Amino acid sequence: MSKVVVMDHPLIQHKLTMLRDINTGSKDFRDLVKEISMLMAYEMTRELPLEDAEIETPLCTMTSKTLAGKKLGIIPILRAGLGMVDGVLQLIPAAKVGHIGLYRDPETLQPVEYYCKLPSDVPERELFVLDPMLATGGSANAAIQFIKDRGGVNIRLVSLIAAPEGVDAVHKAHPDVDIYVAAMDEKLNDHAYIVPGLGDAGDRLFGTK
Ligand code: URA
């Protein structure tokens, strides 16, 4: 079974409180999402493997550490996931960025993919799916499945806030996917919003209502 990592670093928690506040406007909201995502990138890459590299400093040669293994890829789920991209790229600028867009079919209620562009070497990459609000888990599960259908194997999910229902749904559908969150909230309401949450992440990022 995969794990859920709640990143309780004081800076992340402080910024998350400002993010949740109804009085935080779009510009500050965008800046905070970027800053929190950057701090989360630091934590979520903590277990990446290292290997030795021989280098020369101005004083002598030495054996030092460098990232080993697979290259990285980040895949925001449109549209709110876009808000997390710049923060993550600030720490891992060489990561390739894929995009997945989904909508919910009003009749079947199933997520339907309307856009998907992934790095061509997706099977060879460590992938981080960015979905700020893990609510029912429907979009995250569908996005992860689309990535697996295209050969993705090493997949982690990164969300700012999760509801227990969403975590359970992802665990059930994709037990191989670790989940990284800044907060585990209480529940979903009748409209599938996370409570206490922060409202609609996409609307708050882009100033739409
Ligand atoms: N998506 C959001 O933006 N907010 C929620 O609370 C749930 C899903």
Q: Hey, is 33 helix, strand or coil?
A: helix
Which of 184, 78, 88, 172 has its CA nearest to residue 135? Answer: 184
Sign of CA dihedral 165, 203, 12, 196: negative
Residue 1 has pLDDT above 90, yes or no: no
Q: Which residues pair with 141 in a beta bridge?
A: none
Q: How far apart (Å, rounded) are the C-alpha atoms in residues 111 and 63?
A: 49
185 as an active site residue: the answer is no
**ipTM of predicted complex:** 0.95
200 as an active site residue: the answer is yes
Q: What is the pLDDT of residue 5?
A: 96
Question: In percent, how much of the chain has pLDDT > 70?
Answer: 100
As a 3-state breakdown, the chain gives helix, strand, coil percent values, each rounded to 5, of 35, 35, 35
From the candidates 57, 61, 66, 108, which is the catalytic residue? 108
Confidence of residue 187 (pLDDT cuts 50, 70, 90): very high
What token pair was written down for 133? Answer: 């609000």
CB of 197 shorter than 6 A to ligand 1:
yes
From the candidates 28, 104, 150, 178, which is the catalytic residue? 104
104 as an active site residue: the answer is yes
Closest atom, ligand 1, to C-alpha of 203 = 3
Read off the amino acid at residue 162: A
CB of 127 shorter than 6 A to ligand 1:
no
